Structure 1
């Protein structure tokens, strides 16, 4: 059975070309309006979402935020003519898995789709394992940290980063290795996004003085924890 993609794009020419290419391999449901796309998401099951940023009704950032409130696992790929690093970082902070700048190649888009679909399938087949870290319990499958019965929700990228830190606790991890292992690239934008994720994790762990994420100058980071 073909995987089902939600595709939100209001440029009719680009939408036709992209849909025509993707439909050879996937079931593509196309929307030209952000609100209509979100309404459909609430009634249908989608395996991946591809969102233009500039959409009528509800823009791509608003749509992604709304989708994330309903589903923290479905992969989201942004497509946008917006090239500012602030826009890309904003998209990733909302929980998107990638941000492709227009004009993009269909081959690159299809490669990204396959990577994220395979990752989702792999995650679904792995039995849930929790980790104890200081006074926290980390649930990587549900992207959450639990302390004193209170759950703190993480984004998928924050959870992936924390899992890598915990699996290499008290060990220095090189910055470039973290980026390549988790996101397949060591570019500037992903690096900035990672810094944002680490900053949030540090704020969360301030509640436990035995946990800290150390910055190792010109090398990387180390999670220090009991």
Structure 2
């Protein structure tokens, strides 16, 4: 049974989410503020964390940043009542896998949670093997990325992007193709999520992210991996 952490300060919303998730056979733990959410996650890490942005004390973005750093394989969904693109982008920058704007259909939230869990399970079931490309090595069993034998801290989405690129060196992928392959065909969000994750990944693997040599921009198309 997958474990879901809800961090939401409004009790009515928290209870509503808990009831709907339990009806779908999820184990639910809940917190009313960011500090409590982090404490509960440290005691017993959940499979997926659902974080409201507007929390008392530290906000959902900071909670997301802390959880992503400590638990790189945890699924994270940001909830926000705001509609500005900057809030969506900020959530993705801090490491969220997905976001939903309030009000939303709880059935859609359940579908997105299940999609994240399927991707996590698929990655774990790939079996132990290594993928090499120049100075890079991907361990598909542990989902770790190494450059010159030094581990690079990547999120699950960043790992999936690396794997897709390296397995198809020199192939140009459109943003829509990457969106389908990494976030799934049912993803309803903005395609900007691809650019955000590419930018974040470049900052980790490129010697000079402003002049990338591994993940190239293909103007009018998208991105491709250039083996060096």
TM-score by length of 1: 0.87
Point out the more displaced range, 166-175 or 123-132.
123-132
Point out the more displaced range, 187-196 or 40-49.
187-196
Point out the more displaced range, 24-33 or 181-190.
181-190
The alpha-carbon distance between structure 1 residues 200 and 99, as it changes in their structure 2 partners (threshold 3 A), is closer
CA deviation string 1:30-67 (max 9, x = no partner): 21111111111111132211111111132111111111
Question: Distance between the aligned counterparts of 2:17 and 2:187, measured in 1?
Answer: 26
Question: Distance between the aligned counterparts of 1:6 and 1:78, measured in 2?
Answer: 12
| Counterpart for residue 225 of structure 1 | 227
Point out the more displaced range, 78-87 or 101-110.
78-87
Question: Distance between the aligned counterparts of 1:43 and 1:60, measured in 2?
Answer: 19
Q: Is the 8 A contact 1:4 1:26 kept in 2?
A: yes
Question: Distance between the aligned counterparts of 1:81 and 1:138, measured in 2?
Answer: 38
| Counterpart for residue 135 of structure 1 | 135
Question: Distance between the aligned counterparts of 1:56 and 1:30, measured in 2?
Answer: 15
Question: Distance between the aligned counterparts of 1:181 and 1:54, measured in 2?
Answer: 31
CA deviation string 1:95-134 (max 9, x = no partner): 2110000001011001011111222222222223322221
Residue ranges of structure 2 left out of the alignment (5+ in a row): none
The alpha-carbon distance between structure 1 residues 88 and 155, as it changes in their structure 2 partners (threshold 3 A), is same
| Counterpart for residue 181 of structure 1 | 181
Q: Is the 8 A contact 1:88 1:189 kept in 2?
A: no
Q: Is the 8 A contact 1:140 1:160 kept in 2?
A: no
Q: Is the 8 A contact 2:73 2:155 kept in 1?
A: no
Select which of 197, 214, 217 maps to 2:216: 214
User: Is it true that 1:85 corresponds to 2:85 in the alignment?
Assistant: yes
Q: By how many angstroms is 1:210 displaced? A: 11
Point out the more displaced range, 81-90 or 180-189.
180-189
Residue ranges of structure 1 left out of the alignment (5+ in a row): none
Q: Is the 8 A contact 2:3 2:27 kept in 1?
A: yes
Tell me the secondary structure at the aligned position of residue 49 of structure 1. strand
The alpha-carbon distance between structure 1 residues 178 and 148, as it changes in their structure 2 partners (threshold 3 A), is closer
Q: Is the 8 A contact 2:6 2:29 kept in 1?
A: yes
| Counterpart for residue 11 of structure 1 | 10
Point out the more displaced range, 72-81 or 23-32.
23-32
Point out the more displaced range, 138-147 or 75-84.
138-147
Q: Is the 8 A contact 2:79 2:101 kept in 1?
A: yes
Over the residues paired in the alignment, what is the CA RMSD in angstroms?
A: 2.5
Question: Distance between the aligned counterparts of 1:37 and 1:6, measured in 2?
Answer: 8
